[in-house]
Structure 1
């Protein structure tokens, strides 16, 4: 799988300085690197195919959102648009949310989940409305965490059960279709549709393609063979983010806790662990275990932190909200994590919750948390393993691959 070119701008916009460990000036490709792609065979190919099909072309879409006029050939010949080319990394012209003043868009994300029993992967995708000025990689992870809430009818139903490991973010891209009904206006949507199918094929193919013995946990293709847009989805994804069945139901909606909330967690041996909700979507879990329930927030807050991870609160477990305090400055510091491509172990990214990121060697990711969404039962097991000095199976599986 080739490395994606999507890059996140540190908070402050395109060209802002920043980066974990010194990365500077990386830009985000929003809805497609339009300026770079105008002269490319990909855009010409996509435009020709769309025109033949009587649909809006990528150039027309980009003109609408970027405020450019590349589709007006006559106007360019007459010299009407000498200064309208946006700089590399320019953001799309999304409309501000009238209630907040934020410039919003939609993030599209692919992710994987491993079935620990069969050792087969499931590949999926999701999307979510996001704040274009906030760290996009963190919001991509949040979209995966809230994927059941964001599920749409054109997405495959995700398999559920305790045998499935944590969901791991794969790739993301950003567009402007706040209204999901306009997703086909986003080049980003085309790319992620193509990426989902390519990822599924890379992992072995959907069951509907291969029959038994199965190679993935995907019952159906992400892009049906008869889908008239299939070749364009594939072309849009190629070299950018990497080389359907009906929705069968939703498990429920994630519970959302206010940042600063304290949680008491019953463990399998009858003892209790404790966690605290940080800025979404992360939580901190304390090196503090009691035999009887403790509700002393000062005492809990004063104990060391074992780990900070993303957790999805879906199941009706016995976790208890025991109080709330405003987050201290120490608890608001950026959290550093890494991502690693499932097909190319050398393709690693280190990023933080402040919006900084840089490419990294696998060895640099040793000791960091992988970007993954934990379920509550997994947190319980990890806490108890930490308290008893046992290695945790999920932690071991999520360590960076060095070869």
Structure 2
């Protein structure tokens, strides 16, 4: 532990502490009312509970840093299986809140296993990819690693918690760094582009646009005497998907999921019903102007106009009370933290530690990117919290464990060797 104290990356800890502290101030401001006594440790309030969870998270940090680094690699498979058992157990013993059976209830305390499963899945993926003779370019190994990710995703979808399940797509970043063919990532990007394109432009215009693109690609490849087989096959798949989008949209997506896409396409169409959350979110952020209305002075917040503002929409409090300047500072802190994690991941001597570091980066990045994009209307509403800011003990503890396992691995990188 003493060795870890001197070698741990203190810049990461500083950024982590700043983000957690600003997150608690945002929750405090969002949930404080004039009727409440300003007792920071009042456990009947959201900010009181969050402060307790923050204090306990530092106990968790000490525990994580005390454990030997080799433990996380040696027992990663057992930890992964244990997390699957917890996720499966929710189907029989879980508590249902807002239509999701995602929590174990212990009196007034609830625990969400999906938040802790992020770290266990990243450990399992890192363990597999660091194995002897494992080559992510081989299809067999790709299938195996995708299965490691897919099993918890399916269990989370059964809760159902689509937002938490989508987070695991971020592990493609770690897999790509280790040599996964790029067409997986480009395939996801292309599928999203086609889906949104059909919803906005319709199947005919989208087909024409993609047709012109593929004709141009085939023309230039033939001119350079390159094979046209790959673009032809990709084109056939794309056109097949284009004419499947309407079926997926009308027959597969649930009504509330379709509403989210409709709000994204036309945010002003129904600001009193399906588009209410986004409209109020944009109003709150926009009303902050350049420097904001000041801490505790947000009028939109005081009027409780933004639903669930202490959880998924917590960033609206930052925008309203601290304006563009405050929002930019928070975004820059996240960027600095993510950049630091990426730097630490790249300097690792061992595959296990490097893959785990990239997994940490990917999960925090997707949470940050999706949440900010959601509250500003750039992407559809998805129930993904903002790390360190959104209210919740399971989320905070899950991120804490995820991050500090990596910081422990980084601190011991010389000792662990190549």
Q: What TM-score do you get using the length of structure 2 for normalisation? A: 0.23
Higher helix share: 2
Higher strand share: 1
Q: What TM-score do you get using the length of structure 1 for normalisation? A: 0.24
User: Which structure exhibits the higher relative contact order, with contacts defined as CA atoms closer than 8 Å and separated by 6 or more residues?
Assistant: 2
